[in-house]
Structure 1
Amino acid sequence: MLVEEIMKTDVITLPPTATIYEALQLLQKHRIRHIPIVDEEQHIIGIVSDRDVRDASPSSFIKNSDHSELQNKIRSIMTHPVVTIHPLDFVEEIARIFYDEEFACLPVVRDNKLTGIVTEKDMLYKLIQLTGTHVQSSHIEVKVPHKPGILPEVASVFGKRKTNIVSVLVYPYNDDPSYKILVFRIQTMNPLPIVQDLRDAGYELMWPNNIPEPKL
């Protein structure tokens, strides 16, 4: 999946000559947390967060506080240079940037011009979609040998019952490279027949592992 598929294109921006007060107004009005700072040609030259603005604002607990700081230029508190991503970057790869750098948002740039923005909330929602947890489904985890062809082999068990697979994920099994965990979400509220089919085929279930096998 590409960044251009999840990025927001209606980005609220400010020029570096705008005031901190203007940034505060935009953050409150649009309920956003970041404002990219751009020049006249839409080149991104900085970024300001709600925390930056809050730290630069006078405390509401101090009576008769001086609000003149709010008239300072936004460039005085913006972060620069800015880490950016491209619309054709893979979402899975930029997730690593969010994690490693602890960013809350990443501006999207094409031909050196700002074209969109991706937030950590966008990433979390996309993860929900990729894992299939946004639809009613049942969760099954199967421990399998780490060998070529194992995924279609296990999936064929679902196919025999014409069960729709909503999503498939692959996890490592602890620290043992000989095995991996296949995580299926299937579109049924009664997974018991599939669970039994998997057991009959000799697969070890990690979940559900508390459903007893029928007594003969």
Structure 2
Amino acid sequence: MLVEEIMKTDVITLPPSATIAEALKMLQDHRIRHIPIVDEKMSVIGIVSDRDVRDASPSIFIKDSDQSELQNEIQTIMSHPVVTIHPMDFVEEIARIFYDEEFACLPVVRDNKIAGIVTEKDMLYKLIQLTGTHVQSSHIEIKVPHKPGILPEVAAVFGKRKVNIVSVLVYPFKNDPDYKILVFRIQTMNPLPVVQDLRNAGYELMWPNNIPGPKL
């Protein structure tokens, strides 16, 4: 999946000469947490978060606090240089950037101009979609040998029951390189018949691992 499929394109931006007060109003009005700072060519030169703005704003608990700080230019508090991504980057790869750098958002740039933005919330929602947990389905985990052709072999068991597969994930089995875990979400609220089929075919189920299938 590509970044252009999940990025938001209606990006709210500000020039570096905008004031902190303008940024504060924009964050509140649009209910956003980050504002990319762009130059006259729409190139990203910085980014400001709601935390940056709060830290630079006078405390609401101090009576008669100096409000003049809000008239400082936003470039005085923006973070730079900015890590950016491209619309044709893979979502799976930018997930690593979010994790390693602990970013909350990444501006998307095409031809040196801002084209969109991706937030950690966007990434989390896409994970929900990829795992199939956004639709009613049943969860099955199977321990299989790590060998070519094992995925279609197991999927054929579902096919015989004409059960629709919502999603498939593959992850390592502990530290054993000889095995993998296949995680299926199937579109049925009664997985017991296919669970029994899998057991009859000799597969080891990690989940459900304590529910006997029906006698057929």
- Residues 4-59 of structure 1: per-residue CA shift (max 9 Å, x gap): 00000000000000000000000000000000000111011000000000000011
**Worse-superposed segment, 138-147 or 206-215:** 206-215
Matches within 5 A, 1:12-91: 12-91=12-91
Structure 1: unaligned runs, 5 residues or longer:
none
**Matched residue, 1:166:** 166
Is the 2:192–2:214 contact (alpha carbons within 8 Å) kept by the matching residues of 1? no
Normalised TM-score (structure 1)? 0.98
Instruction: Specify the SS of the correspondent of 2:163.
Output: coil
Letter aligned with residue 153 of structure 1: E
Runs (4+) of structure 1 exceeding 6 A deviation are none
CA distance in structure 2 between the partners assigned to 1:124 and 1:215 by the alignment: 40
Number of the residue aligned with 1:139? 139
Aligned to 1:108: 108
Per-residue deviation, 1:210: 1.2
- Label 1:215 to 1:2 Cα distance change in 2 as closer, same or farther (>3 A): closer
RMSD between aligned alpha carbons?
A: 1.1
Match of 2:151 in 1: 151
* Residue in 1 that maps onto 2:185: 185
State the AA in 2 paired with 1:182: L
SS in 2 for 1:153: helix
Question: SS in structure 2 opposite 1:68?
Answer: helix
SS across alignment from 1:140: strand
Aligned residues: 216
Q: Percent identity?
A: 87
Query: How does the TM-score come out when normalised to structure 2?
Result: 0.98
Instruction: Report the CA distance between 1:212 and its aligned residue.
Output: 2.7
* Aligned residue type for 1:97: I
Deviations 1:116-174 (A, max 9, x none): 00000000000000000000000000000000000000000000011000000001000
Q: C-alpha distance in 2, partners of 1:212/1:112?
A: 58
Alpha-carbon offset, residue 113 of structure 1:
0.4
